[in-house]
Amino acid sequence: CGSKAEALRAAEAGVDIVLLDNFTPQALHEAAAAVKAARPRVVVEASGGIDLENLPRFLGPHIDVVSMGCLTHGVSSLDFALRV
């Protein structure tokens, strides 16, 4: 979701997980708290623009999961085969 209103609509629609994407830390915590107040069992995931330096600002009591694209961006692939 890209806004607090979208996140609340998703939670009220009965989803299991709400992904809050590209929020500022303050807006993220406000939206996550609102989602948890409306539907405590919904898993709240934070994503977008989170790296090791700013990670602590995105952690909080209403955030269940944090996705960090920086862990996989720029990783080169490995071509291998398993022959049985």
Using pLDDT thresholds of 50, 70 and 90, give the confidence band for residue 15: very high
| Averaged pLDDT for residues 7-32 | 97
Is the pLDDT at 74 greater than 80? The verdict is: no
Tens of pLDDT along 30-46?
999 999 999 999 999 99
- What pLDDT score was predicted for residue 71? 65
Is the pLDDT at 70 greater than 70? The verdict is: no
Residue 18 counted as domain residue: yes
Total number of domains in the chain? 1
Residue 51 counted as domain residue: yes
Residue 82 counted as domain residue: no
Residue 79 counted as domain residue: no
Which pair of tokens denotes residue 50?
């989170």
| CA distances from residue 51 to 33, 39, 44 in whole angstroms, order as listed | 22, 28, 18
- What pLDDT score was predicted for residue 6? 97
Q: What angle do CA 43, 45, 48 make, to 5 degrees?
A: 170
**Spatial separation of the C-alpha atoms in residues 62 and 78, rounded to whole Å:** 37
Q: Are strands 43-47 and 17-21 parallel, antiparallel or unpaired?
A: parallel
**Spatial separation of the C-alpha atoms in residues 9 and 45, rounded to whole Å:** 16
